[in-house]
Structure 1
């Protein structure tokens, strides 16, 4: 057990934990976006999916696991940033590459804080938002389709979500590339490919979520 504590306390160990938890969160984002795309298929399919998801006995263990991974990722992000600040105070002359890495870490922390605030607002507005009943073959379930459609009818909400998704995309681009470096996949031949792949994935994911936002904003949900 001591070896594990020493490992995760080391610089490389922290990077590996950040990379692994980040990849897990990225996997969640992919599945979440896939579920969101069911919005385009109409209220019946979207509400049926949402009801099946929230009524599953696995939902609470899954949410606890997701929150745990998210919290670990946040803790290690602040821990890494704290180490960078300490190192900066101890060194009078810092190599350019090292200084760039520290600036990148600070940038990631700031965008990460924005994402945390976004998640809190998003969960409060959607998961714990208004309950609108929907009849599904004689069974009353939550009309999440209408809830989402109504939620994205104010310009402020739309702008906040679009800005947040852009920030998420920037965060993902840097995180995806850093994760590959942390696990030793940096290579002269493949580095340009990995960088391009990071940008493409970040743009694709952010654009996907933004597309759902605009679809909801233009829907016939109540204003």
Structure 2
């Protein structure tokens, strides 16, 4: 009946102390793949993870009650959905973020080749959802809804990733949750909705990170665009 014991030991809503696993997906998700990274890099990640989760978090939660932390659960999936709306509010209301956002939106007018690729991709996707309706299970309005979510969140998340702290909040949870509520019992539709909503935004952020590197290397934007478009085609042929 101890709340503290639940917070310490629960693997669902706590820190999961005492839980041990050799599951490769659990190991690689937190420490990356030990097969492709050197030992010192994996050890560095583990030390940082241990200090943050088992030293800083208990000290801030139970020791200092930082920001009235005890009034909230120590771990909750609801915070994952709150992050998305918090960043939209920040970019709309904070004057520095709003200035960044307006400057990035005004710069989009000259990138007509991105619009062309977007229209082509959405046209093919709409044809796919219409012709293969029974196989895909995703209706046309679901495709537009997923693309709308990606369109709204891509710019704020890209600014956070590339200009501020390097962290990329994902839409994987909110897309699965939203489509699961709208169309329960259609797993293929849920996966397709996640692809168009979450993966398109994730690929766009990765695309922009390559552009940022190309900007530092003085590579023309159109050359970067052509290479990024041709690169997946070469992988498909291989």
Does the alignment reach a TM-score above 0.5? no
Q: State TM-score, norm by structure 1.
A: 0.29
Q: State TM-score, norm by structure 2.
A: 0.28
The structure whose Rg is larger is: 2
